[in-house]
Amino acid sequence: MTSAPKASASTTAPVTVSLMIEIPETLHHSIQDYLSTHELWSQERVMQAALSLFLMQNGANQPHVNRLYLDSLFGCTI
Protein backbone atom coordinates (compact mmCIF):
# COMPACT_ATOMS: atom_id res chain seq x y z
CA MET A 1 0.00 0.00 0.00
CA THR A 2 1.37 3.42 -0.93
CA SER A 3 0.41 6.76 0.45
CA ALA A 4 -0.06 9.98 -1.45
CA PRO A 5 2.91 12.31 -1.31
CA LYS A 6 2.60 15.11 1.21
CA ALA A 7 2.68 18.66 -0.08
CA SER A 8 6.02 20.29 0.51
CA ALA A 9 6.41 23.92 1.50
CA SER A 10 7.18 24.83 -2.11
CA THR A 11 3.89 23.41 -3.40
CA THR A 12 1.53 24.91 -0.86
CA ALA A 13 -0.40 28.07 -1.60
CA PRO A 14 1.22 31.19 -0.18
CA VAL A 15 -0.43 32.86 2.78
CA THR A 16 -1.44 36.46 2.20
CA VAL A 17 -2.14 39.28 4.63
CA SER A 18 -4.46 42.21 3.97
CA LEU A 19 -3.17 45.70 4.70
CA MET A 20 -5.10 48.88 5.19
CA ILE A 21 -2.86 51.86 4.57
CA GLU A 22 -3.25 55.56 4.04
CA ILE A 23 -1.41 57.11 1.11
CA PRO A 24 -1.50 60.63 -0.32
CA GLU A 25 -4.43 61.17 -2.67
CA THR A 26 -2.08 62.22 -5.47
CA LEU A 27 -0.22 58.91 -5.22
CA HIS A 28 -3.53 57.05 -5.31
CA HIS A 29 -4.53 58.92 -8.46
CA SER A 30 -1.18 58.10 -10.06
CA ILE A 31 -1.63 54.41 -9.27
CA GLN A 32 -5.17 54.44 -10.65
CA ASP A 33 -4.00 56.21 -13.83
CA TYR A 34 -1.30 53.57 -14.29
CA LEU A 35 -3.73 50.72 -13.70
CA SER A 36 -6.23 52.13 -16.17
CA THR A 37 -3.64 51.82 -18.95
CA HIS A 38 -1.98 48.58 -17.83
CA GLU A 39 -4.76 46.02 -17.60
CA LEU A 40 -2.48 43.14 -16.57
CA TRP A 41 -1.52 44.95 -13.37
CA SER A 42 -3.63 45.15 -10.21
CA GLN A 43 -3.36 47.31 -7.12
CA GLU A 44 -2.10 44.27 -5.21
CA ARG A 45 0.57 43.55 -7.82
CA VAL A 46 1.77 47.18 -7.76
CA MET A 47 2.02 47.15 -3.96
CA GLN A 48 3.81 43.80 -3.90
CA ALA A 49 6.34 45.01 -6.47
CA ALA A 50 6.88 48.30 -4.62
CA LEU A 51 7.24 46.76 -1.16
CA SER A 52 9.53 43.94 -2.24
CA LEU A 53 11.73 46.35 -4.25
CA PHE A 54 11.95 48.65 -1.22
CA LEU A 55 13.07 45.73 0.96
CA MET A 56 15.62 44.56 -1.61
CA GLN A 57 17.07 48.06 -1.97
CA ASN A 58 17.32 48.44 1.80
CA GLY A 59 19.23 45.31 2.66
CA ALA A 60 16.63 42.53 2.84
CA ASN A 61 18.78 39.96 1.06
CA GLN A 62 16.20 37.18 1.30
CA PRO A 63 15.44 34.81 -1.58
CA HIS A 64 11.68 34.85 -0.98
CA VAL A 65 11.60 38.67 -1.20
CA ASN A 66 13.62 38.58 -4.42
CA ARG A 67 11.26 35.93 -5.82
CA LEU A 68 8.14 37.93 -4.90
CA TYR A 69 9.59 40.98 -6.63
CA LEU A 70 10.42 39.10 -9.82
CA ASP A 71 7.07 37.29 -9.81
CA SER A 72 5.16 40.56 -9.47
CA LEU A 73 7.33 42.34 -12.02
CA PHE A 74 6.90 39.68 -14.70
CA GLY A 75 3.30 38.80 -13.91
CA CYS A 76 3.84 35.33 -12.50
CA THR A 77 1.05 34.01 -10.34
CA ILE A 78 2.11 33.48 -6.77
Let me know: does 56 contact 36? Beta carbons within 8 Å.
no
pLDDT digits (tens, 9 = 90+) for 5-52: 454 455 677 788 898 999 999 999 999 999 999 999 999 999 999 999
Distances (CA, A) of 34 to 30, 55, 63, 69, 77: 6, 22, 28, 18, 20
Q: Where are the domains of the chain?
A: 41-77
Whether the predicted pLDDT of 72 surpasses 80: yes
Whether the predicted pLDDT of 2 surpasses 70: no
Of 69 and 11, the one with more pLDDT: 69
Of 56 and 1, the one with more pLDDT: 56
